[in-house]
Amino acid sequence: MSRFSSSLIALLGLFMIGSVAQAGKTVTVEANDQMKFTVNKIEAVAGSELTIVFKNVGAMPKAAMGHNLVVLKKDANPMAFSQAAMAAAATEYIPAQMKDQVLAATKLLGPKEEETITFTVPSEPGEYVYLCTFPAHFIVGMKGVIVVTAE
């Protein structure tokens, strides 16, 4: 084997190790006209990449039944966030004064729309709540939890 091809193989090996280490998790979450998320618990490793493919599979108009998926920081209060969100229609139900409590969020989606978000899971293990901040959707159960475990 020539020196060139063996170093090429070594490089390829390094590249493959690199892609395995970077590979994160992808989860698809659907939201529907019944005001439910199809996934309410996501397990993730601290510091890893998490991709959420979020789909509004409903048929009702966005103004009446829009959905988003907002992941909050660990110390955030989801109930307080959802209450403040009711007055934040102009910013797609993300209250400006609580924006710093958001870890990751999709836009507000209308029927048959979808959005993919990728973010780095916090390094601190624990439970991180996600919710839909459209008025009253959190109250009726549009929420879930990302359970972050240590590396």
93 binds Cu ion (CB under 5 A): no
Contact 6, 14 (CB under 8 A): no
Q: How far is the CB of 15 from Cu ion (least distance, A)?
A: 41
Largest CA distance in the chain: 69
Two tokens, residue 114: 């979808």
Contact 136, 111 (CB under 8 A): no
Q: How far is the CB of 1 from Cu ion (least distance, A)?
A: 59
55 binds Cu ion (CB under 5 A): no
CB atoms within 10 A of CB 61: 10
95: helix, strand or coil: coil
Stretch that binds Cu ion, among 44-52, 62-70, 72-80, 113-121 (CB under 5 A): 62-70
Q: How far is the CB of 50 from Cu ion (least distance, A)?
A: 20
85 binds Cu ion (CB under 5 A): no
Instruction: Name the residues that contact Cu ion, by CB under 5 A.
Output: 67, 132, 134, 137, 142
